[in-house]
Amino acid sequence: NAGVTQTPKFQVLKTGQSMTLQCAQDMNHEYMSWYRQDPGMGLRLIHYSVGAGITDQGEVPNGYNVSRSTTEDFPLRLLSAAPSQTSVYFCASSPRGGYSNQPQHFGDGTRLSIL
Amino acid sequence: AQTVTQSQPEMSVQEAETVTLSCTYDTSESDYYLFWYKQPPSRQMILVIRQEAYKQQNATENRFSVNFQKAAKSFSLKISDSQLGDAAMYFCAHGTSYGKLTFGQGTILTVHP
């Protein structure tokens, strides 16, 4: 199994550009989420989804959009990139089924730099 | 809302010795999980150990064990017989429903040979 696949692994953007970070999982997990990791601050939740067609905001949602049209995919969109969005982004998934299924599977991360 | 605090930005240990990483949390949830994740320089997030809040027994995974003090909202990680491969950033995390995690700031662990 591939697990959680994120693309691209690295990206450099100019301020104002838009882009989509891709996330796909092949484990049929219902829960998916996006985190950003900044130095000294740990990972913070951006958006999450509990199933196809259902998304909600996390701790730091401003400047990001998400959609979940299929169980497998959960893309993160930056509509107008800002230098403050320079970070490492992680996608994660976990199965439904109560707290016994809490462990999250993480992708390898995308390092995004906004100039 | 949940908060997780790791008060030790850096820790070091000699190979084969024992080290304890500290974590405190605050939560309004009655049901939750606590986790320790390891992040080596490769940037991967690796689950080390997890603890169900409703269980009084402390979780153990080989050389890794936790000291879960629910009333004190404390969740420390003990690494026994430390190995060079244990060197990494360690994150404490609080998990609620829908797979949402709140992370601490992280502790960098250095292992000296």
pLDDT, tens digit, for every residue of B31-49?
A: 889 999 999 999 999 999 9
CA gap A74, B53 in Å, rounded: 29
CB atoms within 10 A of CB B55: 11
- A46 to each of A2, A32, A49, A65, how far by Cα in Å? 23, 11, 11, 9
pLDDT class of B89 with cuts at 50, 70, 90 = very high
For residue A115 the two structure tokens come to 């100039």
Query: In chain B, what residues touch A32 (CB-CB under 8 Å)?
Result: 99
pLDDT, one tens digit per residue, over A40-77 is 778 999 999 999 999 999 999 999 999 999 999 999 99
| Contact across the interface for A104 and B105, Cβ inside 8 Å | no
Q: Which residue has the higher pLDDT, B99 or A29?
A: A29
Name residues 11-30 of chain A within 8 A of B (Cβ): none
Length of chain A equals 115
